A and B are shown apart, each in its own frame.
Chain A
Amino acid sequence: MPDATGLELIAQDIRDGDPDAVLDTTYARGRATLIANPPAIRRVLEALRGKGYTFLASLHGVDYWPDEPRLGVIYELLDMEKVDRISVKVRVGADEPHVDSVTDMWATADHQEREAFDMFGVVFDGHPNLRRILMPEDYEGFPQRRDFPIGGEPVIFTFNEKRVRGYPE
């Protein structure tokens, strides 16, 4: 992880090229996070890739409900040469949950963006195959959102299967 000063330097570097790209930085418990402006996410990740963070270790979806903008996507970048990690966060509202896809920059984002879409409903614009990955294709709703109830799913038995929505005629 870059230290707090290093993080500010990186943020300043990106802001020099694109003044609105980085909204904020946080540094807590040894974790450096850049909070990116959603339309500029590709430019921020591209700039970090140019700084040596070439490996996209993971992509996490998260729901900050009831805070707004409630949905978040976190990119964990890794520099294998310097063994250094940095995370980039974007937050979008649930009414317009659009984030640009990075599948053409990192092939690994394919499954991981699909998972964030499946669980939180974040739409990754430009993803070649944005379909549900873990939930059934005809599933409605985004189960990992914080306002999605646990146990809100009827258990299907023979006696009630015809009454459950989505049962094939």
Chain B
Amino acid sequence: MPVAGTDRPDEELLTINMGPHHPATHGVLRLMVKLEGEVVRDCKPIIGYVHTGIEKTAEDKAYWKVIPVVERMDYLAYYFNAQTFCMAVEQLLGLEVPKRAQYLRVIHLELNRIASHLVWLGTSALDLGAISMFWYCFREREKVMDLFEQSSGQRMHTRYIQVGGVFEDVPAGWADKVRAFTREMPRRVDQYAALLDRNEIVLRRLRNVAVVDEQTLLGLGVTGPLLRAAGNPWDLRKAAPYSSYEDFDFKVPVGTVGDNYDRFKVRMYEMYESVKIVEQALEGLPEGPFITEDRKVALPPRHELGTSMEALIHHFKLVTEGFRVPPGEAYAPIESPRGELGAWVRSDGSAKPARVHMRDPSFVNLQALPYMAKDGYVADLIATLAMLDPILGGIDR
């Protein structure tokens, strides 16, 4: 709650450091906070502690080898990083992605969105003092991880999405496991809501805290659940559908006040909508190839290697040099769990990208933190940061 009329010149401002190693900063984030008593007067995020030069590394790798490194940027939304990078490269190549691959991508993206929101919900509840939520959320997240492991061999950083499609078709029986999960998940979200949404402490901590209006957020470039909580229904899956999102029927939850409670509710409802999209994509999963038939881009199937010289040559060229991409620049924005995630890729005609730049939503959204935290209590700063949902791997890259 903002404290009015506390402009006393005799009271000194106290500047303190929060972080970089603080359990409530969700990563290695340092905040320079100016306090007047318990009220935050200013707060400056200082970042770069986990900068690993992923964009520089990407320039030294063939296009298909870039996918695993960009996945490590926003480490909770790895499918999204791969999707936006592959979309940009596909734009440069002028490559058509088969319908089945688009649907498989959507299923994995939405499962990933649920997993990412579950980590957000668990850690945010932890910041508000509700430790049991953390275990419940990670219990369900583990089920998503198992699904990822079955379809791609890895729990995280799966390298499942490839340029031109996906790495492998889903194994037999996987669809049934996903259906079992989508049947269970809405009930689980109901249970989370029952635990948190009628909890007096949670409501008091979140309602009418850190309100920022829509126009300020737009000027700050904020997208995703934070912007939708302020009442703007901007969602790239609806506004500019990619990867067949136009085929699915889902709603875009929006808030009315733009406080921390709306941010919390928007993400809770997004989990229901993601479940709906996964169900529809599984139901309508088309037959056909799971990756483009263009042998200059995608590896030939294993069985062809023993019989076809042509396939062997393609295989050799792809794993040694990689494919060359015609010169040009592309920007592919998608809706990640945190907002507009876009890869800007420049090709100079060689087999390695000349520049890969990620417009990471956490990096841009973090600029809104001083606006949200100003004139609130320092305890609410923790809750506000949790509801902002920054991922430092994506911010620092």
Q: Report which A residues bind B (CB closer than 8 A).
A: 28-31, 33, 54-58, 60-63, 74, 76, 80, 83, 85, 87, 106-108, 110-112, 115, 119, 132-136, 143-144, 146, 148, 150
Contacts and interface: CB of A to CB of B under 8 A. Distances in A.
Contacts of B239: 80, 83
Contacts of B219: 106-108
28 contacts: A29-B330, A31-B91, A31-B329, A31-B330, A56-B221, A57-B359, A58-B340, A58-B342, A62-B355, A74-B329, A74-B344, A76-B342, A76-B359, A80-B239, A83-B239, A85-B331, A85-B333, A106-B219, A107-B221, A108-B221, A111-B366, A111-B367, A133-B48, A135-B51, A143-B53, A143-B56, A144-B55, A146-B354
B57 A57 contact: no
Contacts of B234: 80
A108 B355 CA distance: 22
Interface of B: 47-48, 51, 53, 55-57, 59-60, 91-92, 94, 216, 218-222, 234, 239-240, 328-331, 333, 340, 342, 344, 346, 354-355, 357, 359, 363-364, 366-367, 396-397
Contact of B367 (A63, A80, A108): A108
Contacts, number: 98
B87 to A, nearest CB: 12
Looking at chain B's contact residues, the main secondary structure is mixed
B359 A134 contact: no
Given A56-B221, A146-B354, A134 B51 contact: yes
Contact of B346 (A62, A85, A134): A62
A88 B92 CA distance: 18
A29 B94 contact: yes
A60 B342 CA distance: 11
B48 A136 contact: yes
Contacts of B91: 29-31
A57 B53 contact: no
Contacts of A54: 218
Contacts of B60: 150
Contacts of A31: 91, 329-331
Nearest to B55: A144
B41 to A, nearest CB: 18
A133 B360 CA distance: 15
A106 B364 CA distance: 12
Given A58-B359, A111-B367, A150-B60, A134 B221 contact: no
A102 to B, nearest CB: 11
Contacts of A63: 355
Contacts of B363: 111-112, 115
Contact of A107 (B346, B366, B367, B396): B367
A134 B344 contact: no
A119 B56 CA distance: 10
A38 B364 CA distance: 24
Contacts of A62: 344, 346, 355, 357
